[in-house]
Amino acid sequence: MLPRPLVQFLPWIATGSLMALAWVGWKLRRAWRGLRAAQRAARLERALREFGDLMRDADRPEVHVHELLQALATLTGLPVAALLRPGPGAQDVVIGDPDANALAGLQLCADAGRALGPGTAHHAGEPDLYLPLRGRDAALGAVTLRGLGTAALPPDHLAHAQALCDQMGLALQRRLAQDEARRAGELAQTQSTRNALLAAISHDYRTPLATIMGSASALQAQGERLTVAQRGELAGRIVDETARLVRLTDNTLQLARLGAPGVALRCDWESAEEIVGAALRRVRRRPDGARVKARVAPALPLLWCDAALMSQLLDNLIDNALKYSPAAAPVEVLVRPAGQQVLVAVRDRGPGIEPAWRERVFDAFQRGDLAAYAQRPPGAGVGLAVCRAIAEVHGGELSMRPRGHGGCSFECRLPLRAAPEMPEVA
């Protein structure tokens, strides 16, 4: 039995114990809520970081809009929809199934570039929440969370949802900036090519035209007083310079055509021997064509190619070799198998090309270092560019290799395809 003085303090002791237990419980609940809040904040931060990484690495962020909508739906448990604005002059793209009112809200949100609906400072009475996809200086669309009613999202959820939308908006604006920079670069390249083409035409067309005009005028005005040999020489000049103009025009037009997207080739199964033979017959009409020799490996498979383009490639390479090699030096055309490819090479014994120019000579209107030539060879610098374009549209490649004892070997490698079997003749 407890002493009487101690008994009278029992109620106070019990009350104190209960108060201590209540305080400990309150502390535990507060710590638990803090832990839950920290865990939720960590999950939101991790989700935002992962989505930001996805947007940073995306070449086309618009294809990931479904990931954004899924993240928002998981966060809020509400149906979602989105409106994207691809760029100036393009139509809006709607994802999801918004009704007319929601679509109008999406457009208003994208136009204003600010959040609308419950929990915001604008149109708080609306039942749906609208969040803009904000870029740096404009909104690139909007998303809507349907059916929120009058209950606003928790502040951390609202901030997280807007941050996700901003990640998408910044990625969309970055893609638009990249597209604009690419278009500007293409326009500058087109303008540069146009200027180079005009410069080439004004310079390289003028000389043959002047020769043609002078020779034709001499034949017209003095034809009766000229000897047969003189008239033949003038006529030969007209033919040669006209052929030069035709080649320059063909190369320039072909370069423009092959550089356009979606170029269509007229491919068929062609014989390498026939293509080389036709090129030799054409070059033998030239005064210096006799020094061109050809070696074609026997039993070559048929080539799947555009015969007209391959003929132009050979003509350009042969003309280039004759133009940039000494008058007595031989020019060799070689065709042989090379693994799963066929090698078409044109080799000369000219002065060669300096290492700094070995790739640049394939660029349009580039002619390399001409210091080794006493007289500048004629040409506009488009032949090799056309040859490389022809090789590439056939799935092949064109390269230049210096030869051991001087000169160059321009080598075109084309892929071999299995030719169809010929039907048996009964």
Residues 6 or more apart in contact with residue 81 via CB below 8 angstroms: 69, 94, 95, 96, 97, 98, 102, 106, 143, 144, 146
Residues 338 and 240 in one domain: no
Residues 328 and 393 in one domain: yes
Helix, strand, coil % over all residues of the chain, rounded to 5: 55, 15, 30
Dist CA 357 CA 369 (whole Å): 7
155, β-bridge pairs: none
pLDDT in tens, 66-95: 888 888 888 888 899 999 988 777 788 898
More confident residue, 383 or 395: 395
Residues 115 and 67 in one domain: yes
Confidence band, pLDDT 50/70/90 cuts, at residue 193: low
Supply the pLDDT for residue 295: 92
Total domains in the fold of the chain: 3
The reply to whether 198 falls in a domain is: no
The reply to whether 189 falls in a domain is: no
Supply the pLDDT for residue 144: 92
Residues 400 and 282 in one domain: yes
The reply to whether 14 falls in a domain is: no
Residues 356 and 253 in one domain: no
Tell me the mean pLDDT in the region 47-51: 70
Residues 254 and 344 in one domain: no
Residues 251 and 311 in one domain: no
Residues 298 and 361 in one domain: yes
Supply the pLDDT for residue 332: 93
Supply the pLDDT for residue 242: 85
Averaged pLDDT score across all residues of the chain: 80
Closest CA to 42 of 162, 158, 145, 156: 156
Closest CA to 236 of 207, 208, 215, 210: 215
Supply the pLDDT for residue 282: 86
Q: Among the three residues 258, 289, 319, which one is the final residue of a domain in this structure?
A: 258
Amino acid at 233: E
Q: Domain of residue 347: give its range.
A: 268-370+379-415
More confident residue, 102 or 371: 102
Supply the pLDDT for residue 419: 66
DSSP string, 119-168: TSSSSTTSSSEEEEEE-SSSEEEEEEETT-TT-PPPHHHHHHHHHHHHHH
The reply to whether 188 falls in a domain is: no
Tell me the mean pLDDT in the region 23-50: 65
Tell me the mean pLDDT in the region 413-423: 76
Q: How far is CA 319 from the centre of its chain?
A: 32
Residues 6 or more apart in contact with residue 382 via CB below 8 angstroms: 200, 248, 251, 252, 255, 364, 365
Supply the pLDDT for residue 28: 67
More confident residue, 421 or 107: 107
DSSP-derived pairing of the beta strands 268-270 and 331-338: unpaired
Rg, Å, the chain Cα set = 39
Q: Rounded to the nearest 5°, which phi and psi values hold at 150?
A: -90, -10
Q: Among the three residues 258, 277, 299, which one is the final residue of a domain in this structure?
A: 258
Supply the pLDDT for residue 421: 65
The reply to whether 278 falls in a domain is: yes
Helices 65-76/155-204 angle, 10° precision: 170
Cβ–Cβ contacts within 10 Å for residue 362, how many?
19
Residues 399 and 285 in one domain: yes
pLDDT in tens, 121-159: 888 888 899 999 988 888 899 999 988 877 778 888 888
Q: What is the CATH number of the domain that holds 163?
A: 3.30.450.40
Q: Among the three residues 195, 224, 258, which one is the final residue of a domain in this structure?
A: 258
CA pseudo-torsion sign 297, 301, 302, 305: negative
Residues 107 and 166 in one domain: yes
Residues 220 and 170 in one domain: no
Q: What is the dihedral of CA 416, 418, 419, 422, to 10 degrees?
A: 150
Q: What is the CATH number of the domain that holds 315?
A: 3.30.565.10
Supply the pLDDT for residue 373: 45
The reply to whether 94 falls in a domain is: yes
Supply the pLDDT for residue 34: 61
pLDDT in tens, 229-286: 888 888 888 887 787 777 777 766 766 666 666 667 788 899 999 999 988 988 888 8
Confidence band, pLDDT 50/70/90 cuts, at residue 1: low
Dist CA 115 CA 163 (whole Å): 12
Residues 410 and 274 in one domain: yes
More confident residue, 120 or 3: 120
The reply to whether 220 falls in a domain is: yes
Residue count of the chain, please give it. Answer: 426
The reply to whether 43 falls in a domain is: no
407: alpha, beta or left? (left if phi > 0; alpha if psi -120 to 50): left
